[in-house]
Amino acid sequence: MSGDRCGAPPADLGITSDHPAYRGHFPGDPVLPGVVLLDAALRRLAAAGLIDPAACDVRWFKFTASVRPPDRVALEVAQDAEGATRLRIACGERTVAVGLARARRSAR
């Protein structure tokens, strides 16, 4: 995340091998749906007070690798002075998703 890291250690997203999404996606060959990763990341950011979900837009989000049990995923965050929050979700050293969220500017 190129130089603007917040310095906090990665935060485990708490997605375990028994997460209900694995059961239906896909039976016998489970893969965690990307929306589950995005939801877990946004919830973690909101709980940490880093974003307000009601006043935030996800500008882009790219899934770069599959997450399968027993993978554990962690969130890394970097914020800049203009209100952008850069996200990286990783399984160990392997990046599984990256994205950018930004506070909405109020209409005038």
Total structural domains in the chain? Answer: 1
46 within some domain: yes
25 within some domain: yes
Contact 21/36 with Cβ under 8 angstroms?
Answer: yes
Domain that holds residue 54: 11-103
Q: Give the pLDDT of residue 8.
A: 60
CATH of the domain at 23: 3.10.129.10
CB atoms within 10 A of CB 12: 13
pLDDT by residue (tens digit) across 71-87?
999 999 998 887 789 99
Q: Give the pLDDT of residue 103.
A: 82
3 within some domain: no
Contact 78/5 with Cβ under 8 angstroms?
Answer: yes
5 within some domain: no
Q: Give the pLDDT of residue 106.
A: 59
| Whole-number average pLDDT of the chain | 86
2 within some domain: no
